[in-house]
Structure 1
């Protein structure tokens, strides 16, 4: 597994505002959208392409187009939904699947409650959207589900990651074609399993605490 932390002033600037407890939900959603597009630019560096010939108004030249089958983007519900527009803005022709997962707050283990994606995704590059890589349990479970359906190249986009979660993923997904792209590798987890300094609960910051 590979982990790539984006070192860019615009990424750091937007992330700083996301961390600020005074940032309201509309601003949080907008900045998440902008930040994900920046992360997606790096995450898609190895997207598969085909060489093609194209006619310009002046002459013919060689260019590239995304290969078939198209990439699959999979947000993990619910907070991953807030990252979807920023990702599909860069990959508008990608297909979108959904994976609903919930973490038990006592055991910190993740379980799946909903899936909406093809049974067979063999040969597909998959981009998983999950704002927080904390304990690693949710992403490990999600990526195992994708690999069981045939995915052979998985990239996870996370706003933040904790060293503990990265270690778990490296151990549990050793030898699998997985990459993590994140805006920051933070200090660690607190006793409740939250990333420190972090930005709080990403879902609550995006959508509020109704329900």
Structure 2
């Protein structure tokens, strides 16, 4: 797998990462969502550098200009609900992309730390020979990303796959590397070293869905 860890070079991205981690800044949900969105925009911009381009003639009022434009048929798929701000950031840059949405969540039996990934809702266009961007803000264990892709398989075989995350754990990065093909790209803002016993990223930032949209009742 081609891993693009943007934290390995200093940039403005550091500011947005620091703010989504900061417990004082996190209290402002609108700012948290906007920072995730901006991180998505940066990741999308970096991803655009490896896509396919063709030279196109553009007619201006005074003549013709030639420019290389993206030729990929992109499908952007995000995992609800935490993935919505990241999805919006990517969609700001890939504004003609088709869109897919899937709900995938952890189901714990009782008080156990063990969990399974439950997929309950999926809306997806045809993926055959498309460029699939699979976005999930938190790449913890990697199991949600894999379960989502398994659920997408009946919709066709993409010609290229790009995974996009805001923060990951090394264990999750290793897990998706073992599962996805070697020509898959992972675009991630930063990678933390470990997970805790419940499978959450340490130091991470907490629950991205709750920080974006408010706490949910557990059932």
Q: Does TM, scored on the shorter chain, surpass 0.5?
A: yes
Q: How many residues align?
A: 208
Aligned match of 1:169: 176
Aligned match of 1:26: 30
Distance 2:200 2:213 in 1: 18
Aligned match of 2:10: 8
Which stretches in structure 1 are left out of the alignment for 5+ residues?
A: none
Normalised TM-score (structure 1): 0.91
1:53 maps onto 2:57 in alignment: yes
Shift of 1:199: 0.4
CA-to-aligned-CA distance 1:127-147 (integer Å, 9 cap, x gap): 111010000101112223334
Task: Give 3-state SS (helix, strand or coil) of 2:198's partner.
Answer: coil
Shift of 1:99: 1.2
Let me know the Cα RMSD of the aligned residues: 1.7
Task: Give 3-state SS (helix, strand or coil) of 1:123's partner.
Answer: coil
Task: Give 3-state SS (helix, strand or coil) of 1:200's partner.
Answer: coil
Distance 1:90 1:180 in 2: 18
CA-to-aligned-CA distance 1:178-204 (integer Å, 9 cap, x gap): 211111111210111110110001111
Q: How does 1:158-197 map to 2 (within 5 A)?
A: 158-173=165-180, 175=181, 177-197=183-203
Q: Indicate if the aligned counterparts of 2:129 and 2:159 stay in contact, CA closer than 8 A.
A: yes
Among 101, 104, 113, the residue aligned to 2:104: 101
Q: How does 1:126-165 map to 2 (within 5 A)?
A: 126-148=132-154, 149-165=156-172
Q: Indicate if the aligned counterparts of 1:109 and 1:138 stay in contact, CA closer than 8 A.
A: no
Q: Indicate if the aligned counterparts of 1:121 and 1:150 stay in contact, CA closer than 8 A.
A: yes
Normalised TM-score (structure 2): 0.88
Shift of 1:172: 2.0
1:73 maps onto 2:80 in alignment: no
Task: Give 3-state SS (helix, strand or coil) of 1:97's partner.
Answer: strand
Distance 1:61 1:27 in 2: 39
Which stretches in structure 2 are left out of the alignment for 5+ residues?
A: none
Aligned match of 2:117: 110
Distance 2:14 2:104 in 1: 28
Q: Which structure has the highest strand share of the two?
A: 2
Distance 2:47 2:59 in 1: 29
Distance 1:66 1:145 in 2: 28
Distance 1:84 1:51 in 2: 28
Distance 1:87 1:146 in 2: 19
Task: Give 3-state SS (helix, strand or coil) of 1:114's partner.
Answer: strand
